[in-house]
Copies of this chain bind each other. A is one copy, B any other.
Amino acid sequence: MMKRITIYDVAKEANVSLATVSRVINGSEVVREDTRLKVQEAIEKLGYKPNAIAQGLALQKTTTIAFVIPEASFFYTGQIINGLIDVAKIYNYNMVLHTTTEGILATSDIIETIIKSRVDGVVIFNDKLDKEEIATLTNYDVPIVVIGNRISDNNICSVYVDYETLIYDYAKRYYENGKTNIALVEDRKNPAMIEQLRHGLEKVFKEHGDTFENYIKIPKEYRSSYEYLKEYFKTNKHDLVITYRDSQAMAVLNTAREVGISIPDEMELVCVLDSKYNAMARPQISGFKIPDYDLGAVSMRIMTKMLQDDAKDGYNKETELSYIFTPRETTK
């Protein structure tokens, strides 16, 4: 084990005071060129790396951002994280990752940990952290960016895709073309998203004095959507089936085929959250390209803005990102 070398060691080696070393590592302008060199040599020679913890204490900031996501959601979150990290890197921020689990106890623990760790900010993805919990966070003066939900408040910004409008616009055309038998498949893992989709559909129907009813709920006793849908489609058929995730869409595809429903001729299918797997299915599944990566990148960019106390207005509190419909073979 090599001795932890500190700023004092460098100072001694370079024959200057620690203040000067500090100035050098922080790129202060006032240091004379030759002493800067002297110090830099010493740093090099000793292999000195400033202790970020000590810096954090002295500066009252950690240059780290906490990121909170629901557990096991990496399939949908991967690109978001990449976006976050890429931008975080640019600004030299570290990311600590926290996951929430079903148990309600967990989340308050997470908040506790986050506060204790004195992160500079926290990014929350689409999570059930309720208002009160988020309030706890802001109460401790930490800036928050929420991804996936339209929330904003003092010290809270949000970046999201408007799924309600997305599906409203899309389903409306179907409805008005007489294809009014529209169904939405439940997604237990993403209740919040499904709620938005449902609202969008209800709006379409309501505007025509009609009521949206084909919400396909997967009964608890079925382990997977696939198993239930296999039964379901034996006695049901729709003009259009909407799912949130690719795996649900593939379940529809497979079960429909197995009971002899032809897609897209007899029934159309669209998956809201597009993925590469949609393109690999046969027939290829239509979907909406959601800007995952950008959700992350934009969020982190906003976070960095929030963190500069000067630019109190260089950013929007609510940022809506748009999607692109990608028609493939399951829609006509």
Contact = CB atoms under 8 A, between A and B. Distances in A.
Interface of A: 1-2, 4, 49-54, 56-57, 60, 62, 64, 67, 71-72, 74-75, 77-79, 81-82, 85, 92, 94-99, 112-113, 115-118, 139-141, 226, 247, 250-251, 254, 257, 276-277, 280-282
A22 to B, nearest CB: 14
A152 to B, nearest CB: 18
B96 A97 contact: yes
B49 A53 contact: no
A82 B72 CA distance: 6
Contacts of A97: 67, 81, 85, 95-97
Given A50-B116, A96-B95, A82 B78 contact: no
Contacts of A96: 64, 94-97
A99 B118 contact: no
Contacts of A113: 92, 94
B81 A49 contact: no
Contacts of A99: 82, 85
A247 B277 contact: yes
Nearest to A118: B53
A294 to B, nearest CB: 15
Contact of A115 (B49, B74, B78, B257): B49
Contact of A78 (B1, B50, B75, B250): B75
A257 B280 CA distance: 13
Given A77-B74, A247-B280, A277-B247, A94 B82 contact: no
